[in-house]
Amino acid sequence: MNRLYLFATLAGTRIAVETGEVEAVVKLTEISPVPGMGAHVAGLSALRSRVLTIIDTAALIQGEASPTREAGLAIIANIAGHSYG
């Protein structure tokens, strides 16, 4: 067992993410909403001159958007050349 994991709580659900999939964990300062997007997209944010698509995990897990979409901690991952938080 030589794997390392990041443990987190997302939308009240405990998760484990293999550290090889995690680029960073950062505190977001601002999320800009994007009109017309599905409930699972909280909006866009910037990190080190890059645009991040911020995913509302509560919407994915529970089926509806979080009551408060405040900036907070985000796990950053690069998937197919795109950055997600």
Sequence letter at residue 10: L
Q: What is the mean pLDDT of residues 8-21?
A: 84
pLDDT tens digits, 53-76: 998 887 777 777 766 656 678 889
Q: Are 76 and 52 in contact (CB under 8 A)?
A: yes
Return d(Cα 16, Cα 36) in angstroms, integer.
31
Q: For 1-6, what is the mean pLDDT?
A: 84
Domains and CATH numbers, the chain: 22-84 (2.40.50.180)
What number is the average pLDDT over the span 14-29? 88
Spatial distance between the Cα atoms of 77 and 83, rounded to a whole number of angstroms? 6
Q: pTM for the complete prediction?
A: 0.78
Least confident of 9-13, 20-24, 61-65: 61-65
Predicted pLDDT of residue 48: 84
